[in-house]
Amino acid sequence: MSGAYESMWKDLGLNLTAHDALLQVLGNAYQDIFITQKDRPAGMDYFNFVMSEVHGLRVKELLDGKKEGRKVVGSFCVFVPEEVVRAANATLVGLCTGADFATDEVDKILPRNTCSLIKSAFGFKLGKVCPYIESADMIVGENTCDGKKKSYEVLNTLMPNVYVMDLPQTKSPEGRALLKEEYKRFKDAIENLCGVKIDVSMLKQGIEIVNAKRRAIHRLSELRKADPAPISGLDALLINQVYFYDDPVRFTDSVNKICDELEQRINDKKGVFPQGTTRIVLSGCPMAVPNWKLPWIIETSGAVIVGEESCVGERGTRNLTDDSANTVDGLMDAIVDRYFQVDCAIFTPNPDRLDHTKQMYGQYNAQGVIHYGLQFCQPYQIESYGVENALEAAQIPTLRVDTDYSMEDAEQLKTRVQAFLERIQ
């Protein structure tokens, strides 16, 4: 890929040497973790292709779109309402936050006890290796956890185009009112950026595009309830990760296509793991590309992941936006209602997340839950204590794992996961 896109990356201001090294590591990891899996559905070829072109063709598409006036908006959180961005014919992309990069540089700016996800965003910017950050006309930060909230102040000094959205911390009427005000302010900012006034039909179209993506993911989730599992958790996670930056219509078609194949597999009783393989629900912090460590450890230890209670998973996609209103204000209300259901651990209290985890455990016929907390992530790590206790009290075997993006603890994690699987087997 390097040769074909070199001038594009150069024009974006990337550090070509560092970028080449990143692509090399990414390519090797992908080969070792994904391509070596057995009996993958043929439909994964599309996602292999997307990954092989992750910094190439997709970035070129975005840049071509920009020449035609289509703005690019970067985001770090599922609270950024994609419907509003699509309504203005702009493109929303999730920004790379799943790997350590330029850690020495990052450590000069952020405290060492900052979660890997936040450090990663800074590392990609400081190391000049993310074509998405460099292509974005606007980067949306959100006041979710304290780490993100304060780090956007710093990010603002590194990038000229950071827009910060405030977010409520409680699911109260006042919290909803705040979210509504913030989404209105965001809509104004997007209208300004794109030079358009969003009307009812534009907003309906935005909702339709994003709902279609979510429906395709719902279909995939439904199929993962089968035993034997027709697709690995790693591949399903990858699809959920690609959700954040692929062209939405093409993505929806590709997910539906793979679902057709998985339906056939289920009819034929064909799976990627033998029938009766231990089934795990993953719960916790989001896993952005290329954060595949824990799922890889779980699925090479004799279990299959059948669902993700995560923002890169059901927390991010399970709710649709009602498109029945016929005014912009009515549709914006529906968008607020939809996002207000997201049960991120920044909310206090946050009982819905626990209920949903229990529900997933039952619906996916799982035998255990593995809670994934990123080190120094206060919301999820602190919440995990209550989640583990409540799940265990409900006879749901639970393993609490706190880790980061390095591979240093991989062996130790594998031992813990294996011991947990032995316990539940």
| Interface map 275-294 toward ligand BJ8 (x if CB under 6 A) | ----------xx--------
Residue 31 is given by DSSP the state I
CA dihedral 41→47→48→52, nearest 10 degrees, is: 180
The gap from C-alpha 74 to its chain's centroid, in whole angstroms, comes to 13
Task: Tell whether residue 371 is a contact of ligand BJ8 (CB under 6 A).
Answer: no
Q: Which of 202, 377, 396, 421 binds ligand BJ8 (CB under 6 A)?
A: 377
Phi, psi (rounded to 5 degrees) for 185: -60, -40
Q: Which residue, 262 or 344, has its beta carbon nearer to ligand BJ8?
A: 344
Of 341, 350, 415, 423, whose CA–CA distance to 385 is shortest?
350
Letters for 128-147 (x = contact with ligand BJ8 by CB under 6 A, - = none) are ----------------xx-x
Q: How far apart are CA 194 and CA 188, in angstroms?
A: 10
CA distances from 23 to 1, 12, 240, 290 (A): 9, 16, 21, 11
In order of 48, 146, 163, 169, 385, the CA distances from 149 in angstroms are 34, 5, 12, 12, 24
Query: Site size for ligand BJ8, by CB under 6 A?
Result: 20
Residue 113, classified by CB atoms within 10 Å of its CB into exposed (0-12), middle (13-18) or buried (19+), is exposed
Which residues are within 8 A (CB) of 372 and not within 5 positions of it... i.e. 6 or more apart? 282, 283, 284, 285, 287, 294, 310, 401, 403
Please report whether residue 380 would count as binding ligand BJ8 according to CB under 6 A.
Answer: yes
Of 9, 30, 79, 296, which one interacts with ligand BJ8 (CB under 6 A)? Answer: 79
Neighbours of 356 (CB within 10 A): 17
CB 384, CB 400: distance < 8 Å: yes
Distance of closest approach, residue 360 Cβ to ligand BJ8, in angstroms: 16
Q: Show the site string, 236-275: x = touches ligand BJ8 by CB under 6 A, - = not.
A: ----------------------------------------
Does residue number 148 form part of the binding site for ligand BJ8 (CB under 6 A)?
yes
**Closer to ligand BJ8 by Cβ: residue 123 or 286:** 286
Among 54, 77, 234, 396, binds ligand BJ8 (CB under 6 A): 77
Angstrom CA distances, 63 to 32, 96, 397, stand at 31, 17, 48
Q: Which of residues 338-357 bind ligand BJ8 (CB under 6 A)?
A: 342, 344, 346
Among 12, 72, 92, 118, binds ligand BJ8 (CB under 6 A): 118
- Name the DSSP letter for residue 176: H
> Does the protein bind ligand BJ8 through residue 127 (CB under 6 A)?
no
Segment near ligand BJ8 (CB under 6 A); pick from 24-32, 254-262, 376-384, 386-394: 376-384
Per CB under 6 A, the segment of 115-123, 213-221, 253-261, 396-404 that binds ligand BJ8 is 115-123
Q: Which stretch binds ligand BJ8 (CB under 6 A): 111-119, 221-229, 327-335, 383-391?
A: 111-119
Contact footprint for ligand BJ8 (CB under 6 A): 77-79, 115, 117-118, 144-145, 147-148, 285-286, 311, 342, 344, 346, 374, 377, 379-380
